[in-house]
A and B are shown apart, each in its own frame.
Chain A
Amino acid sequence: MDGRQIRGIRLPAAVFELENVSYSYERVVALDAASLAIPAGQRVALLGANGSGKSTLLRLLDGLCFAGPGTIRFRGEPVTEERFQDETFSFDFRRRVGLIFQNPDVQLFNPTVFDEVAFGPLQLRWPRDLIRQRVAQTLDDLDIAHLKDRPPHRLSGGEKKRVAIASVLILDPQVLLLDEPTAALDPRSQSQTIDLLAGWKDTGRTVVTATHDLDSVEEIADYCFVFQAGRLVAQGSPAAVLGDTNLLRQTGLLHVHRHTHGSGEVHSHPHRHHDPQP
């Protein structure tokens, strides 16, 4: 796979390539004829308001649901339901691609944090001693070793998110897919999560983050795709996308906010949305 050039930016070979990919829930179209390439080793942001198709795209990329019309390729190989019947392909794909869900409660189903982080390696049949060693290491790396014997449902939102990230990071995937990683977190946990994502720059790992938190985009992404109602409407560098006020307003990422200052002066200006609290 050769590198490609989009809007003047030289991109490396694609790890994921999508051609005219569509997906519908019953009669509701979630993704509509999306074509894009996600370059290997890059940090990519999928931007869009709620219901724009970002989460659906992540699930398609992770092989959890499969495109109707259109094709998805991972390192040149088609990602289809049939391919996942092959245990070798499935193991290889699951080791290389990890998805962190928006709601950590979905991802934390084991009795203790230790068991949770060990779940993935156990499914991939790693040796038991290696699993124990790697779980301890991963918990240390994410500064959550003190939580190892706690049941995940008793953790705070920020701790749950870190455990969810640890449960995927232990597999050391080449591609990380994150769905709204800062959603519903308090400011401190948000900042810790963004620091973590920012630290993955230049690590050779491909990171795809679905978000509508524009404040963190420049820190966590080198390239952006913008979605609106299931359609890919724009792409470019974070600076280019964030500088296009019309685009942001059109896609629901920015709106005009009218408010009153202490002096009584009333004025309006474009206003970015942060992640909603639960």
Chain B
Amino acid sequence: MRANRVVEGSVQGFLRVLGRTLESEELARRDGLLQSLDPRVKLLGFMGLIVAAAASRRMEVIGAVFGLAIVLAICSRVPLRTLMIRVWAGGFAFTGMIAVPAFFLTPGRPIWWLPVLGWAVTAQGFRGAVYLISRVETTATLSMLLVLCTPWTHVLKALRVLRVPIVLVVILGMTYRYILLMIGTAEEMFESRRSRMVGKLEAKEGRRLAIATVGVLLGKTMQLSGDVYLAMQSRGFRGEVYVLDDFEMRLRDWSWLAAFFALSAAAMWMGAR
């Protein structure tokens, strides 16, 4: 029903977000290689690999880092289909749009002419676009692996090794938690509207419904944020944030950190030649 797109689309959107969140949390709890490592090792190790892939001037090196990411995904029981849908397809489409003009605009040796228009695709333009896309795919795959194999809250906590202020880490964690809560509330509101709807909803009505829902949700958010602050105060919060850092580095974690750094250094050295 085209006229009910606002309601249907919103409910589907909320369900998609919740579904992806559930899938990520389930993957992060699996018994796999990356899941077993300290989040700080993954954060620092992947940062090294990302820098190496982004800085590399050799396609073989970028390909090797990408291959390593796939091996890590398989060892961590992350379905390649998930990476294909959530990273590779989106990354290819988005970066492709940016890279396409480079085919024609970069000066160099023509290797192919576009039918009808006759525009020349240059070897240098093609090479530049392929480099851009492969770097994006590699770095996005590593980033997504970090998020899929680590509970989001642990990723945030691990940011503290990069000297991210505690207060920012706590705010990000709470934001994530309450966004999910609000998505749940919004989904219930739209479903409740859907359950009482008979027939078509005019496009104008649909827009009005969406705006009204946003308003109600905003009101609920304000109420919730006030109550959360009171609950924090009730347990002694006075503006300073204290957290319990319970990560523990084992010999295995140190070994993997050393391996990640060694691989990153090797990739950087080889990629710069």
Q: Are B232 and A109 in contact (CB under 8 A)?
A: yes
Which residues of B lie under 8 Å from residue A120 when comparing CB positions? 235-236
* CB-CB nearest in chain A for B234: A99
* CB-CB nearest in chain B for A110: B173
Which residues of A lie under 8 Å from residue B228 when comparing CB positions? 106, 109
- Encoded as 1 (CB less than 8 Å from any B CB) or 0, chain A from 46 to 59 comes to 00000000000001
Chain A interface residue count, Cβ-Cβ cutoff 8 angstroms? 38
Which residues of A lie under 8 Å from residue B154 when comparing CB positions? 111
* CB-CB nearest in chain B for A128: B244
Q: Are B238 and A123 in contact (CB under 8 A)?
A: yes
**In the complex, A62 Cα to B227 Cα: how many Å?**
13
Q: Are A101 and B244 in contact (CB under 8 A)?
A: no
Q: Are A125 and B242 in contact (CB under 8 A)?
A: yes
The A-contacting residues of B in range 175-222, CB under 8 angstroms, are 177-178, 180-181
**In the complex, A10 Cα to B151 Cα: how many Å?**
55
Which residues of A lie under 8 Å from residue B156 when comparing CB positions? 111
Known contacts A114-B246, A132-B244, A154-B25: A101-B236 contact under CB 8 Å: no
**A94 part of interface (Cβ distance < 8 Å):** yes
Q: Are A111 and B153 in contact (CB under 8 A)?
A: yes
Q: Are A168 and B235 in contact (CB under 8 A)?
A: yes
**A142 part of interface (Cβ distance < 8 Å):** no
The distance from the CB of A60 to the nearest CB of chain B, in whole angstroms, is 12
**In the complex, A131 Cα to B244 Cα: how many Å?**
9
* CB-CB nearest in chain B for A87: B238
Q: When the two chains form the complex, which single residue of B224, B231, B244 contacts A122, counting CB atoms closer than 8 Å?
A: B244
Interface of A is mostly: helix
Q: Are A112 and B242 in contact (CB under 8 A)?
A: no
Residue of B151, B177, B230, B231 with most partner-chain A CB within 10 A: B231
Give the number of residue pairs across the A-B interface with Cβ within 8 Å. Answer: 80
Known contacts A111-B153, A111-B173, A151-B151: A106-B227 contact under CB 8 Å: yes
**B42 part of interface (Cβ distance < 8 Å):** no
**B174 part of interface (Cβ distance < 8 Å):** yes
The distance from the CB of A176 to the nearest CB of chain B, in whole angstroms, is 12
Q: When the two chains form the complex, which single residue of B173, B224, B237, B240 contacts A106, counting CB atoms closer than 8 Å?
A: B224
Residue of B181, B224, B230 with most partner-chain A CB within 10 A: B230
Residue of A107, A114, A118 with most partner-chain B CB within 10 A: A107
**A196 part of interface (Cβ distance < 8 Å):** no
**In the complex, A124 Cα to B240 Cα: how many Å?**
11
Q: Are B177 and A111 in contact (CB under 8 A)?
A: yes
**B157 part of interface (Cβ distance < 8 Å):** yes
A-B contact pairs, 25 of them (CB 8 A): A64-B230, A94-B235, A95-B236, A99-B231, A106-B228, A109-B174, A111-B153, A111-B154, A111-B173, A111-B177, A112-B153, A115-B244, A118-B244, A119-B235, A119-B237, A123-B240, A123-B242, A125-B242, A128-B244, A131-B244, A132-B246, A151-B177, A153-B177, A167-B235, A168-B235
A residues bordering B, Cβ < 8 Å?
59, 62, 64, 87, 90-91, 94-95, 98-99, 101, 103, 105-107, 109-112, 114-115, 118-120, 122-125, 128, 131-132, 151-154, 167-168, 171
Given contact pairs A109-B174, A109-B231, A114-B244, a sample of 13 additional A-B residue pairs in the complex whose CB atoms are under 8 Å apart: A87-B238, A98-B235, A105-B181, A106-B227, A106-B230, A106-B231, A109-B232, A111-B157, A111-B173, A118-B244, A122-B242, A123-B242, A124-B236
